[in-house]
């Protein structure tokens, strides 16, 4: 689902017996590969099982039929005991200063000068931990892409940079995540903040996607809380609260023209639209958006989308007119994960009511291991909403 449909014929050509994938090399559109229709299903299985870069290298040398194939697609489970699910708590900060580095925090000053802070990574990991506990009690198999207080690399970002982080440069080049020249540039970095912002941030996302794909779940939930796009700190470093609130969920499948320059992304585009990933993600997303609106009471964002939401205007496409809030978009995990995935943005943290509700520790949750979590009632409500949405999704 391209935002600019004219681009499609520069990427692929549909012939009566085959699909041709083009590759824009040296400024010219050359043929990367020809996929005969008779082998399309085989190709899809291979595209599902293999790392996109491995697939890309094999397509270039026409040796893709040697690559690994999965046994089959997993059918949707009908009860929790059959469910295999990946929960992805968004972002990686373990404290406010790291959250400021990844620009995922709120700092507010009220009318009497009292200061309050909040950061998203702490909230997403609480939701994920509670949901994990609720699902495991029902017998589900659950993986978390990161543990509370840690990044997906099992240490904090700062600890990671103190270790042998340069080894990750070689790995990234080898796996086709970055070019050699980029790796050489990062190798000269000494500033911890710059290493985290420029390299770690993306590398860590690759590790999340890699772990999810190795786990091969029925469904992936990427857990986030949103803020207004243009709410950046003022000169004194404070955000502003406001009265607006809306929800949205993202699924794979929409690409802007400039997001399909690399042939690897074109293969991903084909794999997503010819295979079941987009459709299965959409089915789950519709249930989640409905539960968010009904149980959390946050309405789906509805057109007309104003300038405040440029990412919906420029990089997203509404799934169906009857399902407000469900958008296709080319976010990192939506592109790199090869299984059904929904990225959840159920509310705005900088809404004047949500912000103070999220700050509260007015709920208690005791896990099956006896650990007590003191959390916001709103966080608990969010986890419960997702639990019930999952139940409804399995019944559908």
User: Quick one: angle between helices 167-174 and 180-187, nearest 10?
Assistant: 170
Q: Which two tokens stand for residue 83?
A: 């469910």
Check binding of 52 to Zn ion (CB under 5 A): no
Using the contact rule CB under 5 A, the part of the chain among 170-178, 200-208, 216-224, 253-261 near Zn ion is: 216-224
Please give the helix or strand (H or E) that residue 21 lies within, else none: strand 18-25
Using the contact rule CB under 5 A, the part of the chain among 64-72, 105-113, 222-230, 283-291 near Zn ion is: 222-230
Q: How far is the CB of 101 from Zn ion (least distance, A)?
A: 14
Nearer to Zn ion, 224 or 378 (CB): 224
What is the rounded distance in angstroms from the CA atom of residue 219 to the CA atom of residue 282?
11
Task: Give the 3-state secondary structure percentages of the chain, helix then strand then coil, rounded to 5.
Answer: 45, 20, 35
Indicate left, alpha or beta for 27 from its phi (over 0: left) and psi (-120 to 50: alpha): left
Using the contact rule CB under 5 A, the part of the chain among 84-92, 107-115, 174-182, 235-243 near Zn ion is: 84-92
Question: Widest CA span of the chain, in angstroms?
Answer: 71
Check binding of 224 to Zn ion (CB under 5 A): yes
Query: Residues touching Zn ion: how many (CB under 5 A)?
Result: 2
String marking each residue 1-40 x if it binds Zn ion according to CB under 5 A: ----------------------------------------
DSSP code of residue 195: I
Report how many helices (DSSP H) and strands (DSSP E) the chain contains, helices first: 16, 14
Check binding of 146 to Zn ion (CB under 5 A): no
Nearer to Zn ion, 23 or 226 (CB): 226
Three-state SS at 369? coil
Q: How far is the CB of 224 from Zn ion (least distance, A)?
A: 3
Using the contact rule CB under 5 A, the part of the chain among 7-15, 95-103, 220-228, 272-280 near Zn ion is: 220-228
Using the contact rule CB under 5 A, the part of the chain among 38-46, 125-133, 187-195, 217-225 near Zn ion is: 217-225
Sign of CA dihedral 356, 357, 362, 364: negative
Q: Which two tokens stand for residue 247?
A: 């929800």
User: Minimal CB distance to Zn ion: which residue?
Assistant: 224
Q: How far is the CB of 116 from Zn ion (least distance, A)?
A: 19
Check binding of 346 to Zn ion (CB under 5 A): no
Check binding of 90 to Zn ion (CB under 5 A): yes
Nearer to Zn ion, 253 or 346 (CB): 346
Contact 340, 213 (CB under 8 A): no
Chain residues in the site for Zn ion (CB under 5 A): 90, 224
């Amino acid at each position: 689902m391209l935002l600019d449909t004219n681009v499609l014929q520069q990427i692929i050509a549909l012939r009566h017996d085959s699909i041709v994938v083009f590759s824009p090399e040296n400024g010219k559109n050359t043929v990367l590969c020809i996929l005969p229709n008779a082998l399309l299903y085989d190709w899809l299985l291979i595209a599902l099982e293999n790392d996109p870069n491995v697939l890309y290298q094999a397509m270039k040398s026409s040796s893709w039929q040697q690559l690994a194939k999965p046994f089959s697609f997993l059918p949707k489970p009908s009860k929790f005991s059959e469910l295999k699910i990946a929960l992805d708590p968004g972002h990686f900060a373990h404290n406010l200063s790291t959250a400021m580095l990844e620009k995922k925090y709120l700092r507010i000053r009220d009318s009497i000068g009292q200061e309050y802070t909040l950061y998203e990574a702490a909230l997403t990991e609480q939701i994920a931990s509670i949901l994990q506990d609720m699902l495991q009690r029902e017998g589900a198999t659950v993986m978390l892409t990161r543990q509370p207080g840690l990044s997906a690399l099992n240490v904090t970002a700062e600890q990671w940079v103190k270790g042998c982080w340069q080894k990750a440069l070689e790995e990234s080049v080898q796996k086709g995540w970055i070019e050699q020249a980029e790796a050489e540039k990062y190798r000269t970095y000494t500033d911890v903040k710059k290493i985290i912002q420029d390299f770690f941030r993306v590398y860590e996302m690759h590790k999340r996607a890699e772990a999810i794909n190795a786990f091969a779940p029925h469904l992936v939930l990427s857990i986030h809380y949103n803020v207004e796009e243009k709410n950046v700190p003022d000169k004194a470093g404070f955000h502003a609260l406001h009265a607006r609130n809306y929800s949205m969920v993202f699924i794979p499948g929409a690409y802007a023209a400039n997001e399909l320059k690399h042939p690897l992304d074109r293969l991903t585009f084909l794999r997503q639209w010819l295979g079941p990933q987009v459709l299965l993600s959409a089915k789950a997303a519709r249930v989640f958006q409905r539960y968010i609106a009904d149980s959390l009471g946050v309405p789906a964002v509805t057109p007309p989308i104003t300038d405040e939401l440029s990412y919906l205007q420029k990089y997203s496409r509404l799934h169906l007119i009857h399902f407000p809030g469900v958008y296709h978009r080319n976010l990192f995990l939506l592109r790199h994960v090869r299984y059904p995935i929904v990225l959840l943005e159920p509310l705005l943290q900088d809404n004047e009511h949500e912000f103070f509700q999220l700050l509260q520790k007015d709920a208690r949750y005791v896990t099956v291991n006896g650990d007590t979590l003191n959390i916001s009632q709103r966080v608990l409500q969010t986890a419960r909403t997702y639990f019930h949405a999952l139940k409804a999704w399995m019944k559908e």
